[in-house]
Amino acid sequence: MKYRIRHRTRYDYRDQVSQCYSLAHLLPRNTHFQRCNRSAITVEPLPAVSAEREDYFGNRSFHFAVQAPHRVLEVTVESEVEILAQRQSLSLDFGASCADVRAMLSNLEPEENIRAREFLLDSPRIARSQALADYARDCFNDDAPFFSCVRNFTSKIFNEFEFDPRATEVATPLQTVIEQRKGVCQDFAHLAIGCLRSLGYPARYVSGYLETLPPPGSPRLEGADASHAWFAVYSPTEGWADFDPTNDRMAAEQHVTTAWGRDYTDVTPLKGSVIGGGIGQQLHVAVDVERLAG
Amino acid sequence: MGTQELTFKPAADGVSQSAYHEAFTAKGAVREHWQYLLQSLQGLGGEELAMRRLAVDRILRDGGATYNDYSPGLVARPWGLDPIPLVLSSEEWSRIESGIRERAELLDLVLRDLYGPRSLLRHGVIPPELVFGNDAFLRECQGLSLPGEQQLILYATDLVRTPDGELRVMSDRTQTPSGTGYTLVNRQAMSRVFPSLFRDSHVHRLSMYFNKLRLKLNQLNPNGDVARVAVLTPGAYNETYFEHVFLANYLGYPLVQGRDLTVRDGYVWLKTLDGLSRIDVILRRVDDTYCDPAELYSDSQLGVPGLLEAARRGNVSIANPLGSGVLESRGIARYLPAAAKHFLGRELSLPTTRTWWCGDPQDCAFVRDKLDQLVIKTTSRGPGSGIVFGATLSRAERDSMLARINANPAAFVAQDYLDPSVSPVWDGSTPGRQMPLVLRSFAVAGDSSYVVMPGGLTRVGKSTDGIEISNRLGSLSKDTWILASEPEKRPEVDASEVREASAWVGMELPSRVVDNLFWVGRYTERAEASLRLLRSVLTVLKGEQLVAPANHALLLRAITHLTGTYPGFLDPRADLDAPMPELLSIALDPNRPGSINHSLQALMQAVDQVKDFMSADTQRILNDLRDEMSDLPEHLQRDYSAAPEEALDRLVSLLLALAGLAQESMVRGQGWHFLDMGRRIERGLLSLSLLRSLLVPRSEPYLEPLLLETALISMETLMTYRRRYQRNFNIGDTLDLLLLESANPRSLLFQLQKLEMHLSSLPDSVSRDRPGEEQRLCLEALSLLQLADLTKLAATAEGEFLRKDLDQLLSRSQLLLARIATTLTDRYFDHSLGQHPMRPDDNGSPDNPESQNQNQNQTQGQGQRQSQGGSDNEP
């Protein structure tokens, strides 16, 4: 399966911005399941300097600085990504049990264990808590296969929370999301990650896209007209697997990964600092994910 | 001298029984390396020692040595130095030195590993949670690399000697290790107060360390040629700001704040009046998370947006590198022995105090069990990192401590309680006094290993129980004398010599500094003018001249006009018969813009920003100003019946001294031009305001001489007038002298002529053929004045209440001067543009049409602060 993704971000400032220093996580990375065949990023006005780098988590980060005075900044990314394998082929009913996962994590082998332990801890936007552990506990059973428990937990969030883009904004704390039972994909991913970590399972935040217009007969998924987010969990024997609580499914052929990290703050699509601009800035984002023939 | 008997003895009250005595053996004999010092001090005698101690205090005070605490009002705590140094023998020091070097090497290896391959984690040497859960582990810094072998450039360690006589490390400093400047200050004071004792004791010099530091910073230069190094400070509110100023001056580097720097084309630049000047190496005194709002803490106003990316590009070197704070986690110390075995294959010869990390279940069990014998600290060094002594806890406190540990074990470490060694202290009365101490040592990366400073900062506990010793708690310090086995030949390198050695020095001032100098000029003048007028008014009110009380009103209103403390005496309800409360408020109220106190506070804040560009004597005057100001309320109120104006005289003299210093000792560079322009503009504006309120309204003929005299006194021109005219006051002569006399340094013409001279030397004017806006304005004001007809100015038309021509001239001149000030500020200082975070794009919401007041927390530019704070007397 191949996709072409267009992601356009536009900032409108009230006053002139004299300089802008920015960092984008907008270029899709390669994973076991996908290959990014082509990607191009354009920034308007033209940056004085820019560089693509690999960040701490292995994501592609793009640093740029605009030095020309501007009132509008536009960042457009066009990528072609090929989804390589059927992710669902992973069988959920076998594999390590919940108890095994927790026990095996302390082993130094495989090496990924060490990296995964980073995703057990609190992160800037996600603090573990008893309340989070309690919310998820009924989905997990020490003897049951871990991934099937995570799948059940994904359904629980889907069933008990309402997708509502007006309910939250970037900075809404997890506690509010739980109380309101409303939110967007970012909130559900953070919530799930918080619950999993509170129970002692490594979980990371995945930022990416969904196919905008699925083929006839398939449902249009929530969150397709924006960048999307979900989570991945780790089992020492099976590795990482991605789950999408917003759409009650595992991430599959329709999910394109951009970047991952501990939470949103590690993979913010676009952030930075501007000099000038005045008070108040408007942000418009448009995303289009198109399936390519062949 | 020296009549008072003085003997140093080993035992004293209150000292821990087990503590090791630095100066005495267990049997009470003076240790060999202490003998010369103690004998010499005893030879001086108690009285002499007391005198020298006072001399030490005075030198430190005059040098401006302070340690700011966090109390409101920017009260800086004077730096305390005990006149008895800590002495270490050369043999022992060489062991300590190699121990410190070894630790620095190990920490450097750990640092490179944590931001690189993380083999320590993969091999199970350090638990991943300790690193991954550490706020100071900055993932953004993965892969950063400085030129040269070491990444850890500056290192400091706090050492304590335990009762067994062995030294142990209490903590390691790798973020922005402070103390080298204080160490140097201590040394300078001691070598001045005890010159012969110091010379004959053969003490190791400190300059070698600073030379190595300068060398290393130069080697870090990624851009070739002589490195342009800057010291990055968080600013005058930082607790160790004094040291930043001192070090920058000593090393010969400009002291800059985040907003003085900008990143362009991937390089770092210093903003100066002449434009941008590249910076190659930054000696950092700002914590790493605050250094770059674009990538790290986005609300930081102390950093430089884009700095981290410039470092990644290898276009600027930052020492210590961003991210180095990770090593300061107290949990890292727990695993250093294992890391030493892993990397070096041996144990550290200078070990850390035994440490347990509660994130490890076994350690945690031990800590819970032995809580009452341990010292509990938070793992991270962030805010709220209190230190708890298990032995001092009540049962309930103990339970609550255990509950905190259980709730988040990884957040706590425990250490053995250290019983620090004690050393003689001279408090002026008890010669046997012994106090506990901690020694901070410093190392800097060198060619292949580290260079350790032969000396250090010794801090003494306030109390004899030695439980807590830190600067923040107000400790006393000591110089640290490492005795050389043979005398060193080279003399201590002094600051001026060092400054000359550096090729790139102070030629380019950050524009912020020039901005502040401009305001130093304005506030000095503002405070001085208000003081003068207040003084004249107080004299008149005391009734030495025969003035009907009803006519005081005009004078009182002049004060309101001049200070801008509206409504003041212009308020119709103001009690002009009992003006004293309002006059006191104009003098003393610190929260009233325009009051003398307020202007002086603003002056001192501006001076704090530019200390390093002013003469060393400035500090003495500032200290006296501060003292005089704090005594003023008492003087004014007590002396009202007697001579209140005398208290004001002293302040006026100090301000004159300050002005004199600037005139006599400042290099005639841009800084001086702006300082003097600030003064000229302010003096012009204030005189205009004063003359408008006193001389423009028509007054009763009998009152006119008094008004003229007041104007002359306030503008320091009375004597000149008397000498020149030798007749009664008359308006024509007065106007001539105050407005048009170019030989009178107080006249308006004089201010404008000086201003014209300064304006033509500014960078923009030099590069332009035609006069700039501010030059045009100045020219207009000058010609207005020179073309003025004195007779017409002095006249009042029949039936008019005003001298109309005079009013027109004065108000137009006011407008022009005020515009010159704004034009200058706009052209040269960049205040208008705040820096703030971009609104982040979230996953899952397509549009974010209205930002929710995202950026209302932007801090105000400092120009805004100052013009709000002062009275600009805009017409």
Q: What average pLDDT does this structure show over B251-260?
A: 90
Q: Over the range B259-284, which residues count as b (16 or more CB within 10 Å of their CB) and which as e?
A: bbbbbbebbbbbbbbbebbebbbbbb
pLDDT at B668: 79
Banded pLDDT at B268 (limits 50, 70, 90): very high
A277 secondary structure, DSSP code: -
Best mutation target, A281, A287, A288, A289, to test chain B (most B CBs within 10 A): A281
Q: What is the dihedral of CA B263, B268, B269, B270, to 10 degrees?
A: 110
Inter-chain CB proximity B853 and A226 less than 8 Å: no
- Phi/psi for B157 (5° steps) reads -140, 140
Q: What is the dihedral of CA B693, B696, B701, B706, to 10 degrees?
A: 30
Q: Element (H or E) spanning B271, and its range?
A: strand B267-272
- 3-state secondary structure labels for all residues of B791-856: HHHHCCCCCCCECHHHHHHHHHHHHHHHHHHHHHHHHHCCCCCCEEECCCCCCCCCEECCCCCCCC
Q: Tokens at residue B624, please?
A: 């006296």
Look at A284 and B264 and tell me if their CB atoms are within 8 Å. no
Residue B848 has pLDDT above 60, yes or no: no
- Let me know if B856 is exposed, middle or buried by CB neighbors in 10 A (0-12, 13-18, 19+): exposed
For the cut 70, the answer to whether the pLDDT of residue B793 exceeds it is yes
The string over B451-469, giving b where at least 16 C-beta atoms fall within 10 Å of a residue's C-beta and e elsewhere, is bbbbbbbbbbbbebebbbb
Residues 6+ apart with CB under 8 A from B72: none
Residue B428: the pLDDT is 73
pLDDT confidence of residue B549? 61
Size of interface A-B (CB pairs under 8 A): 176
Which residue, B660, B684, B692, B678, is CA-closest to B806?
A: B692
Question: Which residues, in sequence order, are CB contacts of B381 under 8 Å at separation 6+?
Answer: B136, B325, B328, B329, B330
Residue B639 reports pLDDT greater than 80:
no
Which carries the bigger pLDDT value, residue B561 or residue B180?
B180
Confidence of residue B431 (pLDDT cuts 50, 70, 90): low
Higher per-residue pLDDT: B826 or A183? A183
A229 contacts on B by Cβ (under 8 Å): 843-844
Tokens of B434: 């012994």
Residues of chain B positioned with their CB less than 8 A from the CB of A48: 264-266
B833 contacts A273? CB cut-off 8 A = no
Q: How confident is the model at residue B872 (pLDDT cuts 50, 70, 90)?
A: very low
pLDDT at residue B189 greater than cutoff 50: yes
Strand partners, A62: A24, A52
Q: Under a CB-based contact definition with an 8 Å cutoff, are residues B483 and B88 in contact? A: yes
φ, ψ of residue A119 in degrees (nearest 5): -95, 15
Q: Which of A135-149, B529-543, B709-723 has the highest mean pLDDT?
A: A135-149
Residues on chain B touching A192 (C-beta within 8 angstroms): none
The Cα–Cα gap between B830 and B623 comes to 31
- The tens digit of pLDDT for each residue in B416-430 reads 988 899 999 887 776
* CA contacts within 13 A on the Cβ side of B47: 5
Chain A contact set for B122 (CB, 8 A): 108, 111, 114
For residue A35, the tally of other CB atoms under 10 A from its CB is 15
Per residue of chain A (294 residues), what is the pLDDT tens digit?
A: 899 999 999 999 998 899 999 999 999 999 988 999 999 999 999 999 999 999 999 999 999 999 999 999 999 999 999 998 765 556 777 889 999 999 999 999 899 999 999 999 999 999 999 999 999 999 999 999 999 999 999 999 999 999 988 887 777 788 888 889 999 999 999 999 999 999 999 999 999 999 877 767 776 666 667 889 999 999 999 999 999 999 999 988 889 999 999 999 999 999 999 998 887 789 999 999 988 886
B840: which chain A residues are within 8 Å (Cβ-Cβ)? 170, 268-271
pLDDT of residue B867: 30
Q: Are B203 and B481 in contact (CB under 8 A)?
A: yes
Mean pLDDT of the residues in chain B: 85
Report the residue from B124, B295, B832 with minimal CB separation from A108: B124
Q: Residue B349's pLDDT is what?
A: 95
pLDDT at B535 > cutoff 50: yes
Which chain B residues contact residue A26 at CB under 8 A? none
Burial (CB < 10 A; 0-12, 13-18, 19+), residue B776, is middle
Closest by Cβ to B842, choosing from A49, A186, A273: A186
Per-residue pLDDT band for B631 (boundaries 50, 70, 90) equals confident
DSSP characters for B580-593?
HHHHHHHHH-TTST
Contact B122 A56 (CB under 8 A): no
Q: Residue B831: which residues within 8 A CB-CB, separation 6 or more?
A: B825, B861, B862, B863, B864
Indicate the pLDDT class of residue B865, thresholds 50, 70 and 90. very low
- pLDDT tens for residues B218-246? 999 999 888 999 999 998 878 888 899 88
* Interface subset of B 289-308, CB within 8 angstroms of A: 293-295, 298, 305-306
Q: Say whether B839 and A283 touch across the interface (CB within 8 A).
A: yes
A-contacting residues of B 105-134, CB under 8 Å? 118, 121-124, 128-129, 132-133
* Cis peptide, bond prior to residue A110, ω within 30 of zero: yes
Mutation pick from A13, A16, A49, A247 vs chain B, by most beta carbons of B within 10 Å, is A49
**B interface test, pick of A279, A284, A288 with most B CB neighbours within 10 Å:** A279
What's the confidence (pLDDT) of residue A222?
Answer: 65
Kindly state the tokens that stand for A11: 């900032």
Instruction: Show the tokens assigned to B401.
Output: 């401590």
pLDDT mean over B628-640: 77
The 10 Å CB-count burial string (b at 16+, else e) for B397-412 is: eeeebeeebeeebbbb
Residue B463 has what pLDDT? 57
Residue B73 has pLDDT above 50, yes or no: no
* Angstrom distance (rounded) from CA B875 to CA A157: 66
Phi, psi values for residue A235, rounded to 5°: -125, 130
Determine the residue of chain B that is closest to A116 in CA distance.
B128
pLDDT value for B832: 46
Chain A residues in contact with B847 (beta carbon < 8 A)? 283-285
| Pairing of the two strands B281-284 and B229-232 | parallel
Contact B305 A165 (CB under 8 A): no
Nearest neighbour of A282 by CB, restricted to B832, B834, B849: B849
How far from B43 is each of B6, B23, B83, CA to CA, in Å?
Answer: 8, 17, 15
Residues 6+ apart with CB under 8 A from B674: B514, B515, B517, B518, B521, B758, B828
% of chain B residues with pLDDT over 70: 86
Interface mutation vs chain B, best among A43, A191, A283, most B CBs within 10 Å: A283
Query: Is A22 in Cβ contact with B838 (below 8 Å)?
Result: yes
The pLDDT confidence band at residue B12, using thresholds 50, 70 and 90, is low
Average pLDDT over residues B352-357: 95
| Residue-level pLDDT at B844 | 64
pLDDT digits (tens, 9 = 90+) for A84-103: 876 555 677 788 999 999 99
Task: Specify the DSSP class assigned to residue B418.
Answer: P
The nearest alpha carbon in chain A to B857 belongs to A279
User: Considering only alpha carbons, which residue of chain A is nearest residue B138?
Assistant: A56
| DSSP label at residue A87 | G
For residue B859, pLDDT over 60 is answered with: no
Cβ <8 Å between B838 and A274? yes
